[in-house]
Structure 1
Amino acid sequence: MAQEKSSTEARPRGRPQLRSDDETRKIVFDTARHAFAANGFAATSTEELARGAGISTKTLYRLFPNKAALFEAMVADRLDRELSDVQLRGIDHADIEEGLRAALLACADIALDPDVVALQRIVLQESAGFPDLASAFYRNGIARTAAALARWLRVQVKRERIRLDNAEEAAGMLIGMVASAPQRAAIYGGVPLPSRKEVERRVRTVAALFLDGCRVAPA
């Protein structure tokens, strides 16, 4: 018994280790994404978000001054995880078509990600009452993805693999062809997002259209 008591007394004691702010932010982002998707932006209170994340409202406001700032940070965080792929994938491919497919597939992975589509649905639902949500989504999502692809295209122009007058305009067109129709079908028509195989087929078609066109040469 004495030995057991001694062993118990020797066990280290102390306050539980606190989470870092970065860890807490990630938990808040996950909580907010699910809450906004289920209830909408306007109907979700900061008290509900704090409770769902297991923190006080005081901590929530210390990390994010208001709900709109939380939404913007959440969108930026979600896209930061994938945007580096758009900048890097495919750049070192010897074949321009393989490289373009890889870059477009990285863009499609972002634009057609279920979480990103869910965020876009929230923006559309709430844009009349909260116009800043739309600008935050555009700034952190659509514009950054297009800018990353435009940088990739300029590299290919510099390497004299393609000829373009306006890389930004071309990037917007390419992303539109790859992702816009499936996004609209999912958001407005309730159609399931395309499978990976379907996305890859779409990417192949868009790359071929961009590089070769589809006009039949005259005899």
Structure 2
Amino acid sequence: MKLDGDVRRRGRPPVRSDEETTRIVLDAARHTFAVEGYAATSTEELARGAGISTKTLYRLFPGKAALFEAMCADRLERLLSAVDLQASDEVDIETGLRAALIACADLALDPEVVALQRMVLQQSATFPELAANFYNNGIARTAKALAGWLRLQVKRKRIAIDDADEVAGMLVGMVASAPQRAAIYGGKPLPSRKQIERRVQTCAALFLDGCRAKSS
């Protein structure tokens, strides 16, 4: 015979951990911010989208700005964790560079990342900390990863450069800046995989070989 207390215990929904709740909040926030924009989104709406109370939301995040920063960092962290900058001795420098630049382009030109960047630009005058956080958590980290790859190639005497950080910024700019601007300001579609690969091939050739005509 089942006791009423046993039935009630088995019928209670399982208690979610803070880690699981945070994941749900971040996923819901990414969708809500993308649809409504930062300024128009309230903490009540964010809590409702995640299916939690505002009290729980404030326990996990001190405010909307902190949640937005965590959401950007989380999304970029997941994308960055998938970036594989090939550094094998068996891979020639051109093949390795192309693979590294494609990995960076895939991150910089990811539709969600571009949508976040568009939103950050729209709100940067009112909320300048959003732009700084987005830069530090995404753009700067992408260039830093590429700079580390470049330093390894210098160490292996495959290339000769003085400032890996500066060169990495230039390369990321060559690969991604123009398509980003076209999408954000011109409403153009993001490049296809074939277009990205062609752009990367050109950038790699410019970096490794230059384009000055040889004197006859």
Output the TM-score relative to the length of structure 2: 0.93
Q: How much has 1:111 moved relative to structure 2?
A: 0.3
Residue number in structure 1 paired with 2:124: 127
Residue number in structure 2 paired with 1:89: 85
Q: Would you say how many aligned residue pairs link Structure 1 and Structure 2?
A: 212
Q: Distance in 2 between matches of 1:114 and 1:174?
A: 20
Q: How much has 1:23 moved relative to structure 2?
A: 2.2
Residue number in structure 2 paired with 1:54: 51
Residues 79-116 of structure 1, C-alpha deviation per residue, up to 9 Å, x if partnerless?
A: 11122344x43111520011011111111111000110
Are residue 216 (structure 1) and residue 213 (structure 2) matched?
Answer: yes
Matches within 5 A, 1:1-219: 13-86=10-83, 88-92=84-88, 93-219=90-216
Q: CA RMSD in A?
A: 1.8
Alignment gaps of 5+ in structure 1: none
Report the identity percentage.
Answer: 73
Residues 53-103 of structure 1, C-alpha deviation per residue, up to 9 Å, x if partnerless?
A: 0011111111111111111111111111122344x4311152001101111
Q: Distance in 1 between matches of 2:182 and 2:18?
A: 38
Q: Distance in 2 between matches of 1:84 and 1:17?
A: 31
Q: How much has 1:172 moved relative to structure 2?
A: 0.4
2:160 partner amino acid: R
Q: Distance in 2 between matches of 1:59 and 1:188?
A: 38
Alignment gaps of 5+ in structure 2: none
2:127 partner amino acid: F
Output the TM-score relative to the length of structure 1: 0.91
Residues 108-157 of structure 1, C-alpha deviation per residue, up to 9 Å, x if partnerless?
A: 11100011001101111101110100000011011111111100100100
Q: Distance in 2 between matches of 1:33 and 1:56?
A: 18
Residues 6-31 of structure 1, C-alpha deviation per residue, up to 9 Å, x if partnerless?
A: 8xxx9882422222222222222222
12-21 vs 30-39, which moves further: 12-21
Q: Distance in 2 between matches of 1:18 and 1:91?
A: 44
Is the alpha carbon distance of 1:85 and 1:167 closer, same or farther for their aligned partners in structure 2, counting shifts above 3 Å?
A: farther
Look up the SS of the partner of 1:41 in the other structure. coil
Look up the SS of the partner of 2:10 in the other structure. coil
1:62 partner amino acid: R
